[in-house]
Amino acid sequence: MWITRLCGLRELVNACDEIVSTAAGTEVAGLVRSMHLAASWICELWQGDTTPLDGERMALLHNDLAGFAGHAEGVRTLLAEGGGWTSLAP
Q: What is the pLDDT of residues 47-89, one digit of tens each?
A: 888 888 899 988 998 999 899 889 988 888 887 777 666 555 5
Residues 6+ apart with CB under 8 A from 29: 19, 20, 23
Q: What is the pLDDT of residues 11-35, one digit of tens each?
A: 888 888 888 888 888 888 888 888 8
